[in-house]
A and B are shown apart, each in its own frame.
Chain A
Amino acid sequence: MADEKKTILIIEDEPLNMRLTVDLLEINGFNTLSCCDGIAALETLKKTIPDLILLDINMPKMNGYEVHENIRKDSRLDRVKVLALSASVMKEDEERIRKAGFNDFIPKPIDTKGLVKKIREYLSI
């Protein structure tokens, strides 16, 4: 069903940044699921498989790299693209993100239109 709403899981600890991404995606016709830390996100992923995941890197409890590693261990999530969102944009950060195997890296502050475009590209819609 091509016109069914796609679901994006947003994992982000900073409430305002979370609100921004959620509202941006809802306005643009996506369903959103939000988790404020990695552990909650992995719990959610046991029950649901989203179409795409936006994952913040600097988070307490479990950072984005660890969350990503766990996601990639789960074969049910093989097809789910994971985009890293981070305000750490130094070259070393970007290299680490690429090496970790994220599908993409979105630097913060996000370009709202650019992010929506990118998500649509990854979901081929």
Chain B
Amino acid sequence: MSRDELDIQYRDIVENANSIILRMDMNGDVTYFNRFAQNFFGYRQEEILGKNVVGTIVAPTDSSGRDLKAMIDDMALHPSSYVSNENENVMKNGRRAWIAWTNKSILDEDGRVREILCIGNDITRLKEAEEEIIKAKEAAESANKAKSSFLANMSHELRTPLNAIIGFSELMKDDSVGPLTDKQKEYLDYVWESGKHLLSLINDILDLSKVEAGKMELELSEFDLKELLKKSFIFIQEKAVKHGIALSADIKEGIGTVKADQRKVKQVIFNLLSNAVKFTPDGGKIGITAEKTGKGEILVCVSDTGIGIEAKDSGRVFSEFEQIDSEYSRKYAGTGLGMPLSKKFVELHGGKMWFESEKGKGTHFYFTLPLNVG
């Protein structure tokens, strides 16, 4: 192929490339403008050659107010800072477009920059998508902030009247303001228990929203798990005695100090035990066992001889606000948040929670805790 033929071939490639290709001198005057650029910007060759880019394909300022004239001036002074560059451009008809440019200095024989070769691609759609994502992210963040502050306010506002409900009930319950009839005492107990119940709902909702926002952090400390498990029956002692439920604990050797979030572990055990006592008929049994597994974990099991969970309901045990049967929900008041929260607390520690159950025979709830969390 002759030199001329080669030139024609290269010219053809540049003219027909699906990219904007242009050259400008150090003043910003256009010296070359390929066919794609002509079609894209809507300028004929004779309209644009010799014209400055500012005022033709570059608006003095872009839609956000960025000074593009200053940018072009700076580009002539420091071409190496603009090897790749994204900016807004404008077409002859006024429509704006975002272009990703790669810019290359063209040197003369003395090594001075004479012109800049600019190759551009339209990234308007990408930019728009990017902006939408940023907007959506900002909207989500602000919604999340609003949710957190709503929850904090709600918690505060509900606690204030609850302080009076629970507090005055406690004052009256103790007969400190005069004796009450049995019926009055009974009713007062309902008021007090309902107040406490509402309080635990508020606490559970706050905890759950923290877990869901990924904001629940473990407060790790070293504590004696054996002691904690042994003492845990205190939570349900009164009810167990009242209903003739036998309590037994079997904590195997080697269960001692663990590093975990004590408050959360306590809450998990409390939830399991209070569920067990709630669903176990009079004269039943509740047990707690703990042993080390071979995998550097402790396996804790809370078992009961209660009503059990039917296979068809097993998927709902760890769902929020679920209590298996509406009949039970009435009979066995609970927040419906205890189990999902417990599972999440265990998982935050890197452990697992599951259960085995037979309808009418009882349930075994298990969870594992790694010996060393964090």
- A residues apposed to B, CB below 8 Å: 14, 16-17, 20, 23-24, 27, 58, 87-90, 107-110, 112-113
Contact = CB atoms under 8 A, between A and B. Distances in A.
Given A27-B177, A90-B152, A109-B195, A20 B159 contact: no
B326 interface: no
24 contacts: A14-B160, A16-B161, A16-B164, A17-B160, A17-B163, A20-B168, A20-B171, A23-B171, A23-B177, A24-B167, A24-B171, A27-B176, A87-B157, A87-B159, A87-B160, A87-B163, A88-B152, A88-B156, A89-B155, A89-B159, A107-B159, A108-B162, A109-B167, A109-B199
Contact of A109 (B159, B171, B206): B159
- Minimum-distance CB pairs A-B, first 7: A87-B159, A109-B163, A20-B167, A112-B170, A16-B164, A108-B163, A109-B166
Contacts of A24: 167, 171
Given A20-B163, A23-B171, A90-B155, 17 more contacts: A16-B163, A16-B164, A17-B163, A20-B167, A24-B171, A27-B176, A27-B177, A87-B160, A88-B152, A88-B155, A89-B155, A89-B156, A108-B160, A109-B167, A109-B195, A112-B167, A112-B170
A107 to B, nearest CB: 8
Contacts of A89: 155-156, 159
A108 B155 CA distance: 10
Contacts of A16: 161, 163-164
Contacts of A14: 160
Contacts of A23: 171, 177
Interface in B164-222: 164-168, 170-171, 176-177, 195, 199, 206
A107 B162 CA distance: 12
Interface string B141-157: 00000000000100111
Dominant SS among interface residues on chain B: helix
Nearest to B157: A87
Contacts of A27: 171, 176-177
Nearest to A86: B156
Contacts, number: 55
Nearest to B202: A89
Contact of B163 (A88, A90, A110, A113): A110
Nearest to B168: A20
Contacts of B195: 109
Interface residues of B, number: 21
A113 B152 CA distance: 26
A28 to B, nearest CB: 8
Contacts of A88: 152, 155-156
Contacts of A58: 156
Contacts of B199: 109
Which of A24, A90, A109 has the most CB atoms of chain B within a 10 A radius of its CB?
A109
Contacts of B206: 90
Nearest to A113: B170
A18 B228 CA distance: 36
B189 to A, nearest CB: 15
A16 B164 CA distance: 6
B152 to A, nearest CB: 5
Nearest to B167: A20
A53 to B, nearest CB: 18
A55 to B, nearest CB: 15
Contact of B156 (A87, A112, A113): A87
Interface in B23-69: none
Contacts of A108: 159-160, 162-163
Contacts of B170: 112-113
Contacts of A109: 159, 162-163, 165-167, 195, 199
Interface string B65-83: 0000000000000000000
Nearest to A17: B163
B164 A20 contact: yes
Interface string B349-361: 0000000000000
A113 B67 CA distance: 69
Contacts of B157: 87
A39 B285 CA distance: 58
Given A27-B176, A89-B155, A90-B155, A112 B171 contact: yes
B278 to A, nearest CB: 23
A16 B167 CA distance: 10
A110 B165 CA distance: 11
A115 to B, nearest CB: 9
A17 B171 CA distance: 13
A58 B206 CA distance: 20
